[in-house]
Amino acid sequence: MLRASPENAQTDSRENLAKYLTPREQHYIRNHYRTPEIDRAEWTVSLTGMVDESIDLSMDEPEHDFSTESVIHTMECSGNGRAYFEPDADGDQWTFGAIGTTVWTGTPLRDVLAAYGAATDEGPWLSVMGGETIDDEDVFCRSIPMSKIVDDCLLASEMNGSPMRSEHGYPVRLVVPGWFGNNSVKWVDRIHVTNEMVSGEEWRSKDGRDYTEYQQSSYRIVPAGEDASERYADVGEFSTYDQLRATNGIENAYFFDQLVKSIVVTPGEDATVSRSSEGVVSVTGIAWSGDDPVARVEVSTDGGETWSDAEFVGPDLGPYAVRKFRYAWRPDPGTHTFCSRATDERGRTQPATISDPDEGLRGIENGKYPWNRKGYGNNAYEPLGVTVTGEE
């Protein structure tokens, strides 16, 4: 693993992404505070808000009193690819490695909410709070629309068949399949059913801690020259891509579901390759998306000038997992720049590059991803390309 800071790390090799499941020791780590030391036997999760009964759940209750489900989810940090922004955006300078594919196992949240009479009709939100906050610091809290919660979200306790490591959220983590990792709150301490996102003064506690920061200020598109995001109590559009459209009415997009993206895994950067006995070089990679599966991947060997279709290979592990792809290339002598470009089933395709800050873009326009102050959401294909030397 490559450490970005004492609490944060990304995988350090493209080849590590080639595995169908990411080993736990290679799954990226993104923490806002120091990893807490938690005694599972004493930890509880509070259920409050629009419910028939407010309760404190022990860790044994979700695991023993409710059903268990597993989902394979390729989770990406919303800051993955931040290092490719010019000038630099704020935050840890992730390149390509803040991503991991894991079998997450836990209790469906819909079952817990139903058992205690939670309002789950169209409209409510579930605000989920982490328990890692230290004194006088903001609480890590994310508001997730109830429609997504009851569809497929888990209170997870295991990854790849074993208890989670502490830095990944032990003993309990919210898992929001297909959505950026900032939504999958670690060390869940409280879940609160409400009619709107955390947004007002009532979410600033008497001790000065703010529950709104990580929902309303962080993880938003903020162009150069602006200091704050427009705050909303409710939004009707949960697709990050659609929020990034200029006409959606949301001033600063929220990072909910992941954007369609892909990366060439082999050959690696600065590799020298020659044809096999069959006369080809196998170019492989992975592609992933959010709530809408990847439908097509193209590969370019000339930096995006021309494109050819790649083929999907290997098993389909579900709508939230990576798809592996392969392209058979007949190398010519000289230097080549490889790029991959994925398209989801709704026809949304990766942009080519990142905009200049002075353009002030708030959404994906004309093949450009918007430069933003925190470097969130980058799915442009050009920065992810690799340079390869071909030999006869």
Q: What is the 3-state secondary structure (H, E, C) of the chain?
A: CEEEECCEEECCCHHHHHCCCCCHHHCCECCCCCCCCCCHHHCEEEEEECCCCCEEEECHHHHHHCCCEEEEEEEECCCCCHHHCCCCCCCCCCCCCCEEEEEEEEEEHHHHHHHCCCCCCCCCEEEEEECCCCCCCCCCEEEEEHHHHHHHCEEEEEECCEECCHHHCCCCEEECCCECHHHCCCCEEEEEEECCCCCCHHHECCCCCECCHHHHHCCECCCCCCCCCCCCCCCCCCCHHHHCCCCCCCCCCECCECCCEEEEEECCCCEEEECCCCCCEEEEEEEECCCCCEEEEEEECECCCCCEECEEECCCCCCCCCEEEEEEECCCCEEEEEEEEEEECCCCECCCEECCHHHCCCCCECCEECCCCCCCCCCCCHHHCEEEEEEC
pLDDT of residue 285: 97
pLDDT range class, residue 209, cuts 50, 70, 90: confident
pLDDT range class, residue 228, cuts 50, 70, 90: confident
Whether the per-residue pLDDT at 211 is higher than 80: the answer is yes
Section 150-166 average pLDDT: 96
pLDDT tens across 75-88, in order?
Answer: 999 999 999 999 99
From residue 173, alpha-carbon distances to 1, 331, 364 in Å are 22, 46, 31
Spans of all domains in the chain: 2-243, 261-391
Nearest one of 192, 178, 321, 203 to 255, comparing CA atoms: 178
pLDDT of residue 248: 67
CA 249 to chain centre: 23
Whether the per-residue pLDDT at 391 is higher than 80: the answer is no
pLDDT of residue 324: 97
Task: Give the percent of the chain with pLDDT over 90.
Answer: 79
pLDDT range class, residue 10, cuts 50, 70, 90: very high
261-391 has CATH 2.60.40.650 classification: yes
pLDDT of residue 206: 58
Whether the per-residue pLDDT at 47 is higher than 80: the answer is yes
pLDDT of residue 199: 92
Domains 2-243 and 261-391 share a fold: no
Section 312-319 average pLDDT: 95
d(C-alpha 15, C-alpha 81), whole Å: 17
d(C-alpha 340, C-alpha 345), whole Å: 17
Higher pLDDT, 1 or 85: 85
pLDDT of residue 102: 97
Across the chain, mean pLDDT equals: 93
pLDDT of residue 207: 67
pLDDT of residue 238: 92
Section 230-248 average pLDDT: 86
pLDDT of residue 322: 96
Section 282-307 average pLDDT: 96
Section 137-155 average pLDDT: 96
Whether the per-residue pLDDT at 4 is higher than 70: the answer is no
Higher pLDDT, 284 or 201: 284
Is the pTM here over 0.85, yes or no?
Answer: yes
Section 200-227 average pLDDT: 88
Task: Give the percent of the chain with pLDDT over 70.
Answer: 97
Its CATH class, for the domain covering 2-243, is: alpha beta
CB 111, CB 25: distance < 8 Å: no
d(C-alpha 295, C-alpha 312), whole Å: 9
Whether the per-residue pLDDT at 369 is higher than 70: the answer is yes
Show Cβ contacts of residue 37 under 8 Å, excluding neighbours closer than 6 positions.
166
pLDDT tens across 347-356, in order?
Answer: 999 999 999 9
pLDDT of residue 108: 97
Show Cβ contacts of residue 39 under 8 Å, excluding neighbours closer than 6 positions.
none
